[in-house]
Amino acid sequence: MSVLLRILIAVTFSSCVIKQALGDCDLGALQLVNGSSMFEERVEICYNNTWGTICDDNWSNASAQVVCRQLGFFTIGALAYGMCVAARVEARETDMLLAIDAYYHSNAYYGQGNGSIILDDVRCDGTEASLIQQCSHSNPLSHNCGHHEDVGVVCPSTHNCTHGSLRLVDGSYIGNGRLEICIDNEWGTVCDNGWTNLNAQVVCKQLGQNRLTHYQGGIFFVNAYYGKGSGRVFLDNVQCTGAEDTLIHCNYSSTESSCGHDDDVSVFCFIEIRSPGTVILSLNNLASTTYSSGVVRVYDNGWGNICDDYFYGSAEANVVCHQLGYNGASSYSRAGLTIYGPDQLPVMWDHVSCSDSNYLSIAQCSYSITTTNSNSACVNSNFYDATVSCYTTRIWNAPFPGMIRLQGATFSSQGRVEIYCNGEWGTLCNAGFDSIRASSLCRQLGYDNYYDYNHLELTGSPSQPIWSLDIVSSTSGNCFNSSNTCPTTSISNCTHLCDVTLQCRDSDSSTKLTVTTETCRK
């Protein structure tokens, strides 16, 4: 790759890709920062969508093992703690454990962090897979520490090498770098011949499976963009459809590649960004997009809860379920009266009131941003966090011509655009798709604006039709079928590589749409 082309790529992606990579985080996600290499740095953990540090009180090398394991580095801590004494002594004698064990540094060895100190008194036995979920620790944000006690760790400079496992090395953070794959207990590189973003999508999907970070697609770079690797070049002519869960399940040339390390492929994974008005449910302080019941979380420059005051009722619960793609709510309550467990996040919205239970987005309802002067019961206790139990039938199970849904992403506010026509769900081609069309489709879904479009790699099924190459929209239209009619056949001059993706948002709390489940139904 020429120097000029590399500069152009860097300029093109620096304002959006880097922001996505470093901007957002999930509860319990970990990162290492401010060290001399990606293997030894200060530990930071995500809480309430914000990165903070961890106090070194009661820290041990076992806790360092857990941090490194969660980040994808190879540690033998779990094996060591499961060994009998004789086997452990034998391993020590061969330096097997000493050579690859993780260890920690106390007293802000890698510099003092800023912001909140999230955890204190962390105690792990070394076998855990998640620091925040499985190790004991203080309640988040409860500590008696200063940043001069921020803990750091040193991870082994290798990742767990099991057949087909992947790692990204020599990048600026754990989600980018030169792609390496483990084959027969040996790390090697992958040739860039015929590489596509579908391949990168599978790589990022695989890398995100065992972490609390959601990677939503990615891009690739050729010609050893992050430097030449060493050893063998294992795979060549890799061809993925995007549906595979692991790279090893894609088609490829399995014989020793004729490529050199000048051709090593690199990948940059996108971390999924939340947009204002996004909702999700949590159980016992852990959120998941698979839950149909739980404590309601809403995103508004950070995750928080909705107060179950005298405004929150069946109408509001129904709207939350509609936004998550369900037919409605079977029940609603507050965290202190349910088995969902209190959520440890602060209350974000209070006085949420929906004038129509058929609204599609909670942002269509009126609400107030909580402050320290808001309802004291909501601000000072998680007992009043609003909960909901949704019917598990999907809102699109009874579709109408021109109905729109977003599919394939982690959150319901974004995904691949699909339109129901001629009895089938099909996609849109992104040729000519612009901000006016993006806003119009988001309004049909109950959001007052779009956040981004054509930003994800989410291809439709090869069997899905592509219903439209171009759509007619206006700045005020709320329904696809008010200005468009369903084509009789799928178009042939576009492919699913060009499927439109869309992310919607609540951009103006004073603008309230009145779109309901019936508005666009004819």
In one letter, which amino acid is 187?
W
Q: 171 and 148, same structural domain?
A: no
Answer yes or no: is 511 within a domain.
no
> What pLDDT is attached to residue 375?
57
* pLDDT digit string (tens) for the chain, length 522 residues: 333 333 233 323 332 232 233 345 677 888 888 876 667 789 999 887 788 999 999 999 889 988 988 886 655 443 333 333 233 333 333 333 333 468 899 999 888 988 899 999 999 888 787 898 888 898 889 999 999 999 999 887 656 678 888 888 887 666 788 999 999 888 899 999 989 888 988 888 787 644 434 555 678 899 999 999 998 999 999 999 877 888 999 999 866 667 899 999 999 886 666 778 899 998 887 777 889 999 999 988 777 889 988 889 999 999 999 999 999 999 999 988 888 877 777 888 988 999 999 999 998 999 988 765 555 567 767 888 999 999 999 999 999 999 999 998 878 999 999 999 999 999 999 888 889 989 999 999 999 889 888 877 778 888 999 987 667 777 777 888 777 888 888 988 889 888 999 999 887 767 788 999 999 986
Q: 129 and 59, same structural domain?
A: yes
Q: 344 and 368, same structural domain?
A: yes
Which residue, of 371, 390, 409, is where some domain finishes?
390
Answer yes or no: is 300 within a domain.
yes
Which residue, of 238, 271, 304, is where some domain finishes?
271
Q: What is the CATH number of the domain that holds 228?
A: 3.10.250.10
3-class DSSP assignment, residue 45? strand
| Number of structural domains found in the chain | 4
Quote the tokens at residue 358.
């058929």
Q: 142 and 35, same structural domain?
A: yes
Which residue, of 98, 119, 154, is where some domain finishes?
154
Domain containing 322 equals 279-390
Answer yes or no: is 215 within a domain.
yes
pTM score: 0.60
Answer yes or no: is 425 within a domain.
yes
Q: 244 and 228, same structural domain?
A: yes
Q: Name the phi and psi angles at 14, rounded to 5.
A: -65, -35
Q: 477 and 373, same structural domain?
A: no
Q: 404 and 337, same structural domain?
A: no
Answer yes or no: is 18 within a domain.
no
Q: 80 and 38, same structural domain?
A: yes
> What pLDDT is attached to residue 316?
96
Quote the tokens at residue 16.
């959006």
Q: Strands 50-54 and 117-119, how do they pair? A: parallel
Q: 38 and 139, same structural domain?
A: yes
| Rounded Cα gap, residues 391 and 389, in angstroms | 7
Q: 100 and 76, same structural domain?
A: yes
> What pLDDT is attached to residue 16?
28
Contact 271, 215 (CB under 8 A): yes
3-class DSSP assignment, residue 510? coil
> What pLDDT is attached to residue 469?
65
Answer yes or no: is 3 within a domain.
no
Q: 100 and 45, same structural domain?
A: yes
> What pLDDT is attached to residue 285?
76
Contact 158, 75 (CB under 8 A): no
In one letter, which amino acid is 14?
S
In one letter, which amino acid is 12?
T
Answer yes or no: is 144 within a domain.
yes
> What pLDDT is attached to residue 95?
32
Strands (E), 328-408: 329-334, 347-353, 366-369, 386-390, 404-407
> What pLDDT is attached to residue 87?
31
Answer yes or no: is 434 within a domain.
yes
Q: 406 and 375, same structural domain?
A: no
